[in-house]
Amino acid sequence: MLSQNDIKQKLGIYAADFIQQDMLVGLGTGTTVFYLLKELGKRKRQGLNFTAVCTSNQTQNILDEEKINYFSIDEVDKLQLTIDGADEADENGNLIKGGGGALLQEKIVAAASEKLIIIIDEKKNVQTLGVFPLPVEVITFGWKQVQKKIESNYNIQTKLRYKDNSIFITDHQHYILDCWFNRILNPFELNKNLHLIPGVVETGLFVQMATTIVSGFADGRIEVKNI
């Protein structure tokens, strides 16, 4: 049986095959994508040529280490595909993302991509989204007002995200509220309604964006589902 890390590594190496010569691709963020980036670095040294757009400073730093070229999103028209991780995926391919805090850039890059390929441990496939707390990125001014509105509108608990005993600050200098919805029956409506609260920058709900879900199993199998 593979460990969780082995599954991530297998997924990363598998997903590298989606990136072909001279492609322009978006590269996601997180511990699963980490293995993809490492594999791409290796393939680049072996002659694979491609250009990337990063979804976070973390990914940009790894690309610097691996000597992989990247553009800013504003230098490109559209991307052929983006490969990213996720925290939950439902059977329609709707996602919760942002466990690593990069949801804003991830969503912008995904929206500019013709395809969004998600690589996940199969345990992240769920029937209904929401057990994983939904990350909501908010501007720092008035964040408590946003928190109060989300808690009272939905009768749920939320928590300002911390990392290493300090408030977690996103790449775009915002805060994240982790929101325990438990059961998100209509991700489309929830995403839309959260955006109506002044101060909400983005939510971790990626609705009808993923085109392929690649799931890795502990027995070594990889399952590819096109949405």
User: Segment contacting ligand 5RP (CB under 6 A): 97-105, 153-161, 165-173, 182-190?
Assistant: 97-105
Identified binder of ligand 5RP from the candidate list 41, 85, 130, 199, rule CB under 6 A: 85
Residue 26 touching ligand 5RP (CB under 6 A): no
Residue 13, number of CB atoms within 10 A of its CB? 17
Q: Which helix (H) or strand (E) holds 88?
A: strand 88-89
Residue 102 touching ligand 5RP (CB under 6 A): yes
| Residue from 39, 106, 137, 202 carrying the catalytic annotation | 106
Q: Which residue intervals of the chain are DSSP H helices?
A: 4-16, 31-45, 57-66, 103-111, 143-154, 187-195
**Which of 86, 98, 99 has its CA nearest to residue 125?**
86
Cα gap 208→64, rounded to integer Å: 32
Cα gap 109→140, rounded to integer Å: 23
User: Segment contacting ligand 5RP (CB under 6 A): 42-50, 94-102, 174-182, 219-227?
Assistant: 94-102
Single-letter amino acid, residue 6: D
Burial of 220 (0-12, 13-18, 19+ CB in 10 A): exposed
Residue 202 touching ligand 5RP (CB under 6 A): no
User: Segment contacting ligand 5RP (CB under 6 A): 69-77, 92-100, 168-176, 218-226?
Assistant: 92-100
Identified binder of ligand 5RP from the candidate list 97, 107, 115, 161, rule CB under 6 A: 97
Q: Is 189 a catalytic residue?
A: no
Identified binder of ligand 5RP from the candidate list 39, 88, 90, 106, rule CB under 6 A: 106
Site string for ligand 5RP, 155-194 (x = CB under 6 A): ----------------------------------------
Residue 100 touching ligand 5RP (CB under 6 A): yes
Is the Cβ of residue 106 or residue 178 nearer to ligand 5RP in the bound state? 106
Cα gap 129→183, rounded to integer Å: 6
CA 190 to chain centre: 18
Identified binder of ligand 5RP from the candidate list 12, 59, 62, 87, rule CB under 6 A: 87
Look at the alpha carbons of 71, 73, 78, 82 in this order and tell me if their dihedral is positive or negative.
positive
Contact residues for ligand 5RP (CB under 6 A)? 28-32, 84-87, 97-103, 106
Catalytic residue set: 106
